[in-house]
Amino acid sequence: MKKQLLLIGGGHAHMVTLANLHAFIEKGFGVTVIQPSEYHYYSGMGPGMLGGTYRPDDIRFATRRLVESKGGRFILGHASRIDPDKQLVHLEGTEEAIPYDVLSCNAGSSVPRDMIRGDGRDIFTAKPIEELLVARQRIVALAATGRITVAVIGSGPSSIEIAGNIHQLCRERQVVMPRIQLFGGRKFLSGRPGRVRRLARRILERKGVEIHETGYVRRIETGRFSLANGQEYQADIIFPAVGVRPSRIFSSSGLPTGPDGGLRVNEYLQSVSYPNIFGGGDCIYFEAEPLDKVGVYAVRQNPVLYRNLMAGLEGGPLEKFLPGGTYLLIYNLGDGQGILSKWSLTFSGRLAFRIKDRIDRRFIQTFQET
């Protein structure tokens, strides 16, 4: 029987592998991809989709079409458990288990929902990105009927991008501008350079966004939420954007993980216990140097992951992943404005957004066209 390559998730770290799927098939290997959606959304452009700058088609890859056109098998489903001894991946809600010789995991991360109570109606997490599309329609529908309150919970890049793009959405759709509140824990954008924090605050406050630094949110339910200090707030729409956590599939499968539950991998992006399991992106814990959960690393891991998967199937030396130095950060704050930061260079305005837009469009078009 042919050797089988199995991919969990067609995320940012699997882009080069997916684009070169035919190379595996031509060498006689079988390739299967498991993903819960037929599309993979590029998160860097997610807030822009919320604001209306991009249409869903502009920011997504047609994973199923790509896989099948290159001779692979696509399974629409959730990988729920890995059995590394039997070399099987189990699927949620079915008895079916998919065999592999080499497995690569790019199952990403999601915003923890632990603090959400009830059915979660009108509560939209920053990830998966598809949530932002549903949120966009809901905000426009509600804001067309009167002034609503939208609360963004969190103090990282995704929270400022979401708040800024809600402003753009409502301005362009000419609905009543909501009261937009951002609950940033104890300190707005903590951990970011002072100049980035000042610029972001100035841009958001000019849009009328209220920034609260009164403490951490502990509990969220439809229409309201409360802080650790007991203060209660009401909001029609709530966005928890409190950071992300890797997929739980590794801890529930008993695989070695890092402190955040990510698949613990060595410098070859290979599980520290199972040499035929690899991974990339937000779902891994890179033992040599824990990495930020940013798409930049997933993108940089692509060629190494591709070559190591091929080496894992064919035999041959593995390549080390070198994370590289500082990365460029550009935030999209809506209304055509961005903040760019790298080394000591930080500036805001239309040019910053245009640079981000250009980089993002070029990236996605490269893979949409393969």
Ligand X SMILES: Cc1cc2nc3c(=O)[nH]c(=O)nc-3n(C[C@H](O)[C@H](O)[C@H](O)COP(=O)(O)OP(=O)(O)OC[C@H]3O[C@@H](n4cnc5c(N)ncnc54)[C@H](O)[C@@H]3O)c2cc1C
The number of beta carbons lying within 10 Å of the beta carbon of residue 333 is: 27
Assess 107 for contact with ligand X (CB under 6 A). Answer: yes
| Biggest CA-to-CA distance, the chain | 64
Assess 78 for contact with ligand X (CB under 6 A). Answer: yes
Q: Which residue number, 72 or 108, has a Cβ lying nearer to ligand X?
A: 108
Assess 334 for contact with ligand X (CB under 6 A). Answer: no
Give CA–CA dist 126/135, Å, rounded: 10
Spatial neighbors of 270 by CB under 8 A, at least 6 apart, are: 277, 278, 308, 312, 318
Q: For residues 96 and 51, is the Cβ–Cβ distance under 8 A?
A: no
Cβ 45 to ligand X shortest distance, Å: 8
Q: Which residue number, 34 or 199, has a Cβ lying nearer to ligand X?
A: 34
Number of residues located near ligand X, criterion CB under 6 A: 35
Binding mask 256-285 for ligand X (x = CB under 6 A): -------------------------xxx--
As a dihedral over the C-alpha atoms of residue 39, residue 40, residue 43, residue 45, rounded to 10 degrees, the angle is: -50
Q: Among 17, 19, 29, 44, which residue interacts with ligand X (rule: CB under 6 A)?
A: 44
| Neighbour order of strands in the sheet with 277-279 | 73-76, 30-35, 4-8, 102-105, 277-279
Cβ 61 to ligand X shortest distance, Å: 9
- Cα 118 vs. chain centroid, distance in angstroms? 24
Q: For residues 74 and 35, is the Cβ–Cβ distance under 8 A?
A: yes
161-181 CB burial, b ≥16 within 10 A, e <16: bbbbbbbbbbeeeebeebebb
Cβ 358 to ligand X shortest distance, Å: 13
Cβ 165 to ligand X shortest distance, Å: 9
Assess 108 for contact with ligand X (CB under 6 A). Answer: yes
Q: Among 17, 43, 87, 104, which residue interacts with ligand X (rule: CB under 6 A)?
A: 43
- Cα 2 vs. chain centroid, distance in angstroms? 33
Assess 247 for contact with ligand X (CB under 6 A). Answer: yes
Assess 127 for contact with ligand X (CB under 6 A). Answer: yes
3-state secondary structure of 203: helix
Cβ 294 to ligand X shortest distance, Å: 4
| Neighbour order of strands in the sheet with 88-91 | 79-83, 88-91, 97-99
Q: Which stretch binds ligand X (CB under 6 A): 34-42, 203-211, 217-225, 269-277?
A: 34-42
Q: Which residue number, 28 or 285, has a Cβ lying nearer to ligand X?
A: 285
Amino acid code (one letter) for 96: E
Q: For residues 337 and 352, is the Cβ–Cβ distance under 8 A?
A: yes
Spatial neighbors of 137 by CB under 8 A, at least 6 apart, are: none
Using CB under 6 A as the binding rule, the residues of this chain from 142 to 201 that contact ligand X are: 158, 161
Q: Which residue number, 40 or 212, has a Cβ lying nearer to ligand X?
A: 40
Cβ 316 to ligand X shortest distance, Å: 26
Cβ 159 to ligand X shortest distance, Å: 9
Cβ 298 to ligand X shortest distance, Å: 4
Binding mask 46-75 for ligand X (x = CB under 6 A): xx----------------------------
Q: Which stretch binds ligand X (CB under 6 A): 17-25, 29-37, 192-200, 212-220?
A: 29-37
Cβ 329 to ligand X shortest distance, Å: 7
Using CB under 6 A as the binding rule, the residues of this chain from 287 to 306 that contact ligand X are: 293-296, 298
Cβ 233 to ligand X shortest distance, Å: 22
3-state secondary structure of 210: strand
Q: Which residue number, 220 or 249, has a Cβ lying nearer to ligand X?
A: 249
Which helix (H) or strand (E) segment is 39 a member of? strand 39-41
Give CA–CA dist 293/280, Å, rounded: 11
**Contacting residues toward ligand X, per CB under 6 A:** 8-13, 34-37, 40, 43-44, 46-47, 78-79, 106-109, 126-127, 158, 161, 247, 249, 281-283, 293-296, 298
